[in-house]
Amino acid sequence: MALTLGILQGGGALVGGDLEFLILPPIGIQIGGGLVGYGAGINIHLKKHIRSSFVSLQYWQQGGSGDGFVQSVIGPNFVYRSKKWFTAQIGLGRVLDRGPAFPNDVEPQDIVLMYAIGGYFPLARH
């Protein structure tokens, strides 16, 4: 398994983290959260180990619940992992829902850019 920490990690949280488990290499699942957000994903690694890049189908819940809810998004992402610690991801997401905390001065879009940057730390070897 591996822990990822960074900006917009953990479901698009301002600062957050994800915990990933390889359930059947190269397939992994991740769950995470952070400063006002949470998310989950299903990952397919390019190699059969946790230190490899992967494609992921991710769900992001941005903002808290109730009046703090901003939006929920689902979409595919490509996640780059360096051999040591650096990670970055980019993808496109379909907005499923918007909440009361969605900014009034932002034009709503149905498809949004999903991205994050941070570091990852393997916690166990397979």
Query: What share of the chain in percent tops pLDDT 70?
Result: 98
Q: Is the pLDDT of residue 126 over 50?
A: no
- d(C-alpha 25, C-alpha 21), whole Å: 10
Indicate if the alpha-carbon torsion angle 31, 33, 39, 45 is positive or negative: negative
Q: Stretch 70-89: mean pLDDT, rounded?
A: 98
- d(C-alpha 122, C-alpha 28), whole Å: 13
The pLDDT value given to residue 125: 63
At 102, is the pLDDT very low, low, confident or very high (cuts 50, 70, 90)? very high
pLDDT tens digits, one per residue of 9-58: 999 999 999 999 999 999 999 999 999 999 999 999 999 999 999 999 99
Q: Is the pLDDT of residue 124 over 80?
A: no
